[in-house]
Structure 1
């Protein structure tokens, strides 16, 4: 369940937005002032903050930056408040939500914040390979042992983590997720462990980190293999001792948290290379669950495609349409290098592009298979790049990946292997030079 903090009065259109978010499974908290919002972010925390432009969005963002709080902020207000919207986005707001709110935009906003498409938790599974994973998940869900979830990018590791939490004895407690690859070291440390007042310049009050926010529930450490070795040592102590040391703190704070960790890296190889602590690896690897790639669970391709077709038709206010036999054959024959995430994007595009009473193969746009050097009959992929400037190749790769992801910045950054911040800086540079950059459908996540 996404945690949404609303900054502004719940009367009128903002209250409508809150009720729409609740209907999508979000937990709602509300604050009337910027100081109250900052106080909430220091304590229970949030996955997303929705701030009315009638309040000082810039002050909220400056306060969050000073206190090293990483929470996306979406400004909102009447459509005619264009000047305020522009000012909010320039100050660092992720996007602007027009009021009165649109249910589809609320859904997309929550999906971008949580990585999930609504309140559903259970993974779609028909293939024996995936059914075996879910059976193992059912076995370990009610225990408190740490679980290491491995698998390629896009296989649905966070979906499985949420499924385990929902089936656990901690289901009534919070589920808190943190992407360890998305934040620089100093910010990640504060996000994980919190800080005391005066711990650093800008720390004007005590703030709880993700461990304390997840107390009584589950903490997912996504992309844990990207964590700096110094923080790995501090994480190991927190798991071993069940207590955390806030930055600038004088005494440890007890926490009751179940740890789930996810990675697309080979952590055994990372341990051998000296990039990941062996003792931390064994603490996380009490139970290991490997999510099969989509090409290894082919019986799930069409059920997943039908599931996504229904979801995106509903989200975009379109009639539900069946996949034609030819479209189904096209989807079943593809190898899906981007796994479930690629399938989701492909079906989303198909739902938007399809005409007529069903989704035909002409609406299914897939990533072409990479030809072998022999089959190419000429230059290989690398040789074809010779003579081009590095920044031009990088630009085309980034723009192409954004198009493939329907403008979703988080997913594009994951595919490209760069941080969200680096991607946003590139996008700003491209836009400044007059280049058109794909926007996310319904919800731009710049």
Structure 2
């Protein structure tokens, strides 16, 4: 992933930058907010901004919003500067990074912001091997490819696999999640804009199409795109030019398009939600990734891969799955597919104190224990039985119980608990302060585990 650092690299912010680089990030640096904005306008591939809070952080956030930048921003400042942290979060920062930096927290921030993975696609099951064989055949071509499959099956990973085996592998790979950006901002993200095109457009900005020139552009969740933008996208694909918002001339682009979706586009066409002509333009070739439950031969290899990856990422030494743990993984239905397996292995790495990961660290039910609505797609009516015990409880109480129980499992480690819960470390600490003020027993760090 690409990270833009705003501030001097001579001090503790530079240490944070070097940790991010060691975790695989590609770095750019700007001394001022103005210089940072120039970098963002010229290159649409930035995934994360880390800004020193001494650089008028509030102004940075207002200017990013005015120019319709959707890049995630992390504020960095002194650990004991509570006011700066609160002000940064209120201004719109996704996270506050205390300095001196903690390597685990930086790893968690990078993981939360980016799903980027190398083009390695672990496939041992015959069903997945057949998909990769097709991908190998079409990768060298210039054809558009539609990648389909349930959420969490690895559509972006397959897209990167195709790019790295194409004739464009030396060019950029740019991914855009069409469902993650509001329609009002998506057009500018895709096509860019000219100075004065709208209020806040104080300078020209390139979009994802131009960022992916001579490379590959992945349009993820393409089925969620607004109909008006579908028409503009179709015209761009036909003409091989981009019309920036407010522009008076088309800009030539040489981009290969990969599109991904977890919805049935033919049904969306029938419902009037997706253009048929765009579907045929994208669907030169379709690659369908089977759900994980239909390729059981991949479960164990993927699990071992994720254990090794997260053990290395969290610097906890070498870890291995026991045979009992593998048996439990193979017996589970994995409705969340590879993403659920990855999260489960990440959690198991954090919860296991020794080198072996066993059944109790995995925390998934046996088939007999699984809710019936997970085991059968036709049994949704029974879903209420599994949550009936929560009826009558306040949302705040359920949230508190979940957070405290997760913290107990993590032996009081705030960073690991925040990672599992999918919230920022700052948000977690604020919650814990609230709970303590109410008289709740908040787990303390155990045996020297960092808070």
* TM-score w.r.t. length of structure 2: 0.83
Does the Cα contact within 8 Å between 2:371 and 2:386 map onto a contact in 1? no
In 1: Cα distance, 2:151 partner to 2:355 partner:
34
Structure 2 counterpart of 1:172, from 151, 170, 180: 170
- The offset of 1:397, in angstroms, is 9.8
Aligned residues: 412
**Counterpart mapping for 1:26-41 below 5 A:** 26-41=25-40
**Aligned residue in 1 for 2:114:** 114
CA RMSD of aligned residues (A): 3.2
**Aligned residue in 1 for 2:269:** 271
- The offset of 1:387, in angstroms, is 12
- The offset of 1:318, in angstroms, is 1.0
**Aligned residue in 1 for 2:409:** none
Q: For 1:381, what is the secondary structure of its paired residue? A: helix
Structure 1 counterpart of 2:383, from 358, 376, 381: 381
Does the alignment pair 1:42 with 2:44?
A: no
Does the alignment pair 1:280 with 2:294?
A: no
In 2: Cα distance, 1:33 partner to 1:333 partner:
54
- Please tell me whether Structure 1 or Structure 2 has the larger radius of gyration of its CA atoms: 2
- The offset of 1:383, in angstroms, is 7.0
Q: For 1:154, what is the secondary structure of its paired residue? A: coil
- The offset of 1:188, in angstroms, is 0.8
Unaligned runs of 5+ in 1: 411-426, 437-446
**Aligned residue in 2 for 1:86:** 86
Does the Cα contact within 8 Å between 2:178 and 2:225 map onto a contact in 1? yes
- The offset of 1:17, in angstroms, is 2.8
- The offset of 1:18, in angstroms, is 2.7
In 2: Cα distance, 1:343 partner to 1:276 partner:
32
- The offset of 1:198, in angstroms, is 1.2
Does the Cα contact within 8 Å between 2:119 and 2:160 map onto a contact in 1? yes
In 2: Cα distance, 1:366 partner to 1:385 partner:
17
In 2: Cα distance, 1:400 partner to 1:250 partner:
54
**Aligned residue in 1 for 2:422:** 408
Unaligned runs of 5+ in 2: 407-416, 437-451
* TM-score w.r.t. length of structure 1: 0.84
Write out per-residue CA displacement over residues 223-264 of structure 1, whole angstroms, 9 at most, x where no aligned residue.
110011111101111111111111111111111111111110
Shift in CA distance, 363/221, structure 1 to aligned 2, threshold 3 Å: same
Shift in CA distance, 244/399, structure 1 to aligned 2, threshold 3 Å: farther
Structure 2 counterpart of 1:344, from 338, 342, 352: 342
- Tell me whether 224-233 or 251-260 shows the greater mean CA deviation: 251-260
**Aligned residue in 1 for 2:5:** 6
Q: For 2:27, what is the secondary structure of its paired residue? A: strand
Write out per-residue CA displacement over residues 257-312 of structure 1, whole angstroms, 9 at most, x where no aligned residue.
11111110011111111110001111111111111111111111111111111111
**Counterpart mapping for 1:59-74 below 5 A:** 59-74=59-74
**Counterpart mapping for 1:77-156 below 5 A:** 77-116=77-116, 120-156=118-154
Does the alignment pair 1:222 with 2:220?
A: yes
Write out per-residue CA displacement over residues 193-244 of structure 1, whole angstroms, 9 at most, x where no aligned residue.
1111111111111111111111121111111100111111011111111111
Does the alignment pair 1:250 with 2:252?
A: no
**Aligned residue in 2 for 1:310:** 308
- Tell me whether 105-114 or 30-39 shows the greater mean CA deviation: 105-114
- The offset of 1:435, in angstroms, is 7.9
In 1: Cα distance, 2:402 partner to 2:145 partner:
35
Q: For 1:80, what is the secondary structure of its paired residue? A: coil
In 1: Cα distance, 2:167 partner to 2:17 partner:
28
Q: For 2:372, what is the secondary structure of its paired residue? A: coil
Write out per-residue CA displacement over residues 378-403 of structure 1, whole angstroms, 9 at most, x where no aligned residue.
x93347778998996899699979x7
**Counterpart mapping for 1:154-233 below 5 A:** 154-233=152-231
In 1: Cα distance, 2:268 partner to 2:71 partner:
29
In 1: Cα distance, 2:112 partner to 2:153 partner:
17
In 2: Cα distance, 1:398 partner to 1:278 partner:
47
